[in-house]
Structure 1
Amino acid sequence: MLVNNNTQAMSTVQQIKRPDMDPANAAASTLYSGALQAVQQSVTVPTAQKDLDKATGRIDEAFAKTRVQLQTTASSVDTPATNAASGTRSEFTDYMSKTPAERIREQLLKEQGLTEAAVQNMSQQQQDAISKQVAERLKQQQEQQVAAKTTDPQAQAVKETLAAI
């Protein structure tokens, strides 16, 4: 019986048995993948570029149509609607520029069905009573804010973060 103790010959035989290590398969695989990539690039890149150009053209067309529609709508807008929108904006700006005490006073007078002119015509005692009610509500509001901050600091931190966003 013949026994080959040459480990180098054994490893060569084992390498040839593996198809991924066969030099002929490796060369064929390289040629095939290179040819496949060349074919894919020559076919898909121009097609993809054409599709991209078409999509870009459609987007530009949609923006142009929207722009024209907005311009025609803006030129045909009735002035009462514009005045109403600017009036609402000015009311909001006026409200936001008021102090919390002024807001509370306005709310209190609205609840009681009073106007500033009516309050001015009241006696000094009645005006002081309204001022005390405003002060009490302002104090309650401040206490609620302090209580909310001290009872749950994590929830307050989350609220402040969300408000900042």
Structure 2
Amino acid sequence: MKYLKIIFCILPFLLLFFACSQEDDICTEGGSPRMKVKFKKEGKLYTVDSLSIGIISDHKILKVLDNVKDVDSVYIPLKVNGEGYTDILVQSNLSVKDNYSEIRVKYDEKSEYVSPGCGIRKLYDHLSAIIRKPQEVKSIEVNANQIHDENKTVLYLNF
């Protein structure tokens, strides 16, 4: 009886100890990185008074920001469907309808296995950007030609 009591007391602690491991299905590494964008005006960093940003996906506009005030930077997700580009709509003067700039960001996608919990994430190389419809955004500066994390500013949009 004494041994049975010891087994039932120690067994739950042993199970708890071996059940917790580093191979849990919790994703701590993160998924596909987003593109960090900052703004400039006359060559200096600029805080936009009000800003809306959308992504064109399957002939629909997905809003990233919708009329957000005092924006100095934004993280924009890129499409991961293998097309190799993302079309971005930028509008800062919200009082004028259809006054948006359209920017196409081109890249090569690369898949990277992270873990069982995270699965696969996309990395972007050979990044370039062009303005397809210049309105408010006058020019683009590409600061980095790859996106492997979200730390570095990739694009500067010049107003």
- Place the TM-score, normalised by the shorter chain, in its bin: under 0.3
TM-score (norm 2): 0.23
- Whose RCO is larger (CA < 8 A, sep 6+)? 2
Pick the structure with more helix per residue: 1
Pick the structure with more strand per residue: 2
Is the radius of gyration larger for structure 1 or structure 2?
A: 1
